[in-house]
Amino acid sequence: MEHPFMSAMAHSLCQQSLLVVRFNFEYMALIAATGKRRPPAKMPVLVAEFQHQLEAAASHWPGLSWFIGGKSMGGRVASMALNDCRAVAGVCIGYPFHPPKKYSDTRLQPLQDAEKAILIIQGTRDALGNQEEVSGYKLAASTQLLWLEDGDHDLKPRKKSGFSQQQHIVSAAQAIAQFCLA
């Protein structure tokens, strides 16, 4: 949970007056505890774990409208859990539209089947789905895309772009707040 990007994003979201609840998937917690890399659990296990975490948070803070989301695989899992949980909408940052360099192996199904609104925030040069590639995908009408200029998978632009990763994180947080409070 101490990943610099996630910490900066959570801080920026809190600056937008949003409550942020974070968790590590069990396999990530094991990596942190043991220092040994391991593959993620299968998607159904991750989706169930995500839904369990949402229910735990909702029982702690009853009466709130919940938006779920995540970064990369966490966003993919959130998009897969969205239709069958109490959340009103979802947010994906750096959605992995395909594995690295496997452009035809797309992961579009949860975005095509979305019954609830999803906001995807993506860098224009994200190696897991850049603007040119994604513009050709058919997604559910409830799916919105926000492109951050020259951002990579972590929304980090090159220096020559004139942007900084922190600027993109703040822009993303502002867009998420606007999406959630609309």
In the chain, what are the domains? 4-181 (3.40.50.1820)
Q: How many CB atoms lie within 10 A of CB 136?
A: 6
Note the helical H segments in 39-158.
Answer: 43-60, 73-81, 109-112, 131-134
Check residue 157 and report its DSSP letter: P
The pLDDT of residue 87 is 96
pLDDT in the model for residue 1: 59
d(CA 64, CA 181) in angstroms, rounded, equals 12
Pair 181, 155: CB distance under 8 Å: no
Phi, psi of 89 (to 5 degrees): -165, 175
Question: For the chain, which ranges sit under pLDDT 50?
Answer: none
Q: In this predicted structure, what is the pLDDT of residue 182?
A: 86
Q: What tokens does 75 get?
A: 């966003």
Q: Which two tokens stand for residue 28?
A: 């990530």
Identify the pLDDT of residue 3. 86
pLDDT at 2: 73
Decide: residue 155, CB within 10 A, 0-12 exposed, 13-18 middle, 19+ buried: buried
Q: Is 121 helix (H, G, I), strand (E, B) or coil?
A: strand
Query: In this predicted structure, what is the pLDDT of residue 45?
Result: 98
The per-residue pLDDT for range 124-158, each reduced to its tens digit, is: 999 999 999 999 999 999 999 999 999 999 999 99
Q: Are 41 and 25 in contact (CB under 8 A)?
A: yes
pTM comes to: 0.95
